Structure 1
Amino acid sequence: MLDLASPTFWIAVLQIIAIDILLGGDNAVVIALACRKLPDAQRKKGIFWGVIGAIGLRVVLIYFALQLLAVPYLKIVGGLLLFWIGIKLVIPENDEGHGNVATSATLAGAIKTIIVADAVMSVDNVIAVAAASHGSILLVVFGIAVSVPIVVWGSKLVLLLMDRYPVVITAGGGLLGWIGGGMLLTDPTIPASWREIVPYSTYLVSALGALLVVLAGKALASRQHAGHPSGELTTASGRELMEGKPK
């Protein structure tokens, strides 16, 4: 258990909040889509209970992820997955994945849609948060509790900022690469003595992981942009929100 008074605890909290904001924007869009057919009087209830259910399910998923990360080689796999998630975050893309989000005219139906959609879309979030939490379920709960209101009620602002300032996306991808790099060295199959051979090896591998994600993401983005000269690709879903178009 991490010490609440230690800088390590609060750095991990900030990492979890950043991950939830960067990877949770799409979830906020899903919430809006799922509730759009509800009467005005029920929309707030649909959002509230849908978010509560989604949070509860996500905490359970992350709890099991924390247990699995103690299995040999899974941290190596998880670290590599974080590299890929970070690269995907850096690469601009047309996001049309929400067009098939089911809507419902009933409160129960909207809540069910939010919970199911959040579970399906949150695999990347679960892996990243589990890696950043250092095995502490307290960190998971605290970080999610702080970040969910930001994602839900501030999602439009967050998405617009990410769309207007691409450096935010790049920094987010670098953060996932940093966490993934550090995760590789903490796998049970890696002898602790290896980390002592090279001074500050954890920081070095973390920095290399962040650099790898950013450079690979930028290289793939350049290749993708060359194949789409019309410039229709966007770095986030913020453009659709700015134009008032449903995703």
Structure 2
Amino acid sequence: MDIANPQFWIAVLQIIAIDIVLGGDNAVVIALACRRLPEKQRNLGIFWGVFGAIGLRVILIFFALSLLAIPFLKIIAALLLLWIGIKLLQPEPDSNGHQVDASTTLMGAIKTIIIADAVMSLDNVIAIAGAAKDSIGLVIFGLVVSVPIIVWGSKLVMKLMDRFPIVIVIGAGLLGWIAGDMSVTDAITREWVNANAAFLHWLVPAGGVLLVVVIGKWLAARTQAKMAPIVDLADDINKPLS
């Protein structure tokens, strides 16, 4: 498509609009994945996480239509997304005063962002590919322009999470909702659900939210209960002798 053609710029605006609408999910994932990083590491985590996620999305564009036609693929992706949501609700590990390896933490955050974006992007790339009219150059251009939007959104969400911890629960629940929606729109389930049980389009996502929040909170409570005696023992040891 010629850059001087008005249709080119209309397509660019459409792609950016798609990323603004759909980028909220990505911003939540980035914020959740980077919230435990030291302040100096957060910008690196955001940058490399977004870089990897956008690169992966460009690759997925090539295979979008064929990927979504594979039975059970979205169901498998939904299960992975549920696992990520539950994992993000777990408490920070206690370092007991020892310095946490920043590079390991940073790589873990980047990996979480890329994996989550991969399973969340199967629907997104279809919309982007349609707006781009089969022009991969246009797709890449539109995605690059959208990066600052996603980065700004993730920083905003992180600030909210630092101030209001409930945002973490809401973000993890959002992943559960997306996972539930993906499971009922898989190639193997979509037609049956549309014909016989359309209510599952909201019931299953709602169930995904409950599943992530309930299991995530339950596991977090168990972890904290196991850690409590260790913390008490460490406090006793560190008490000054009278």
TM > 0.5: yes
> 1:11–1:198: structure 2 CA closer, same or farther, 3 Å change rule?
farther
8 Å contact kept, 2:84–2:116: no
Residue of structure 2 equivalent to 1:182: 181
One-letter amino acid matched to 2:150: S
Identify, as 1 or 2, the structure richer in helix.
2
8 Å contact kept, 2:36–2:92: no
Range that drifts further, 164-173 or 136-145: 136-145
Root-mean-square deviation over aligned CA pairs? 4.1
TM-score, normalised on structure 2?
0.63
Residue of structure 1 equivalent to 2:29: 19
Residue of structure 1 equivalent to 2:103: 101
> 1:209–1:120: structure 2 CA closer, same or farther, 3 Å change rule?
closer
One-letter amino acid matched to 1:175: L
In the alignment, the residues of structure 2 paired with residue 217 and residue 61 of structure 1 have an alpha-carbon distance, to the nearest angstrom, of: 28
In the alignment, the residues of structure 1 paired with residue 183 and residue 76 of structure 2 have an alpha-carbon distance, to the nearest angstrom, of: 8
Instruction: Using the TM superposition, give the Cα deviation of residue 64 of structure 1 relative to its aligned residue in structure 2, in angstroms.
Output: 3.5
Unaligned stretches of 5+ residues in structure 1: 35-46, 103-113, 233-247
One-letter amino acid matched to 1:185: V
Instruction: Using the TM superposition, give the Cα deviation of residue 179 of structure 1 relative to its aligned residue in structure 2, in angstroms.
Output: 0.1
In the alignment, the residues of structure 2 paired with residue 85 and residue 55 of structure 1 have an alpha-carbon distance, to the nearest angstrom, of: 17
One-letter amino acid matched to 2:173: G
8 Å contact kept, 2:34–2:109: no
8 Å contact kept, 1:75–1:186: yes
8 Å contact kept, 1:128–1:176: no
Instruction: Using the TM superposition, give the Cα deviation of residue 204 of structure 1 relative to its aligned residue in structure 2, in angstroms.
Output: 1.1
Residue of structure 2 equivalent to 1:135: 126
In the alignment, the residues of structure 1 paired with residue 172 and residue 207 of structure 2 have an alpha-carbon distance, to the nearest angstrom, of: 13
In the alignment, the residues of structure 2 paired with residue 75 and residue 62 of structure 1 have an alpha-carbon distance, to the nearest angstrom, of: 16
Instruction: Using the TM superposition, give the Cα deviation of residue 215 of structure 1 relative to its aligned residue in structure 2, in angstroms.
Output: 0.6
Range that drifts further, 166-175 or 140-149: 140-149
In the alignment, the residues of structure 1 paired with residue 68 and residue 34 of structure 2 have an alpha-carbon distance, to the nearest angstrom, of: 22
In the alignment, the residues of structure 2 paired with residue 172 and residue 214 of structure 1 have an alpha-carbon distance, to the nearest angstrom, of: 10
Instruction: Using the TM superposition, give the Cα deviation of residue 54 of structure 1 relative to its aligned residue in structure 2, in angstroms.
Output: 6.0
Instruction: Using the TM superposition, give the Cα deviation of residue 24 of structure 1 relative to its aligned residue in structure 2, in angstroms.
Output: 4.4
In the alignment, the residues of structure 2 paired with residue 78 and residue 199 of structure 1 have an alpha-carbon distance, to the nearest angstrom, of: 21
> 1:26–1:8: structure 2 CA closer, same or farther, 3 Å change rule?
same
1:149 aligns with 2:152: yes
Structure 1 or 2, whichever has the larger Rg, is 2
Residue of structure 2 equivalent to 1:62: 57
In the alignment, the residues of structure 1 paired with residue 218 and residue 21 of structure 2 have an alpha-carbon distance, to the nearest angstrom, of: 30
> 1:73–1:20: structure 2 CA closer, same or farther, 3 Å change rule?
same
Residue of structure 1 equivalent to 2:222: 223
8 Å contact kept, 2:82–2:208: yes
Deviations 1:2-41 (A, max 9, x none): x95xx9986534333333333344678575697xxxxxxx
Q: Percent identity?
A: 28
3-state SS of paired residue (2:91): coil
Deviations 1:108-135 (A, max 9, x none): xxxxxx9x88764533332354156263
3-state SS of paired residue (2:126): coil
Unaligned stretches of 5+ residues in structure 2: 1-10, 132-141, 232-242
3-state SS of paired residue (1:188): coil
TM-score, normalised on structure 1?
0.62
In the alignment, the residues of structure 1 paired with residue 34 and residue 128 of structure 2 have an alpha-carbon distance, to the nearest angstrom, of: 19
One-letter amino acid matched to 2:29: I
Instruction: Using the TM superposition, give the Cα deviation of residue 87 of structure 1 relative to its aligned residue in structure 2, in angstroms.
Output: 0.4
8 Å contact kept, 1:20–1:125: no
Task: Count the aligned residue pairs.
Answer: 199
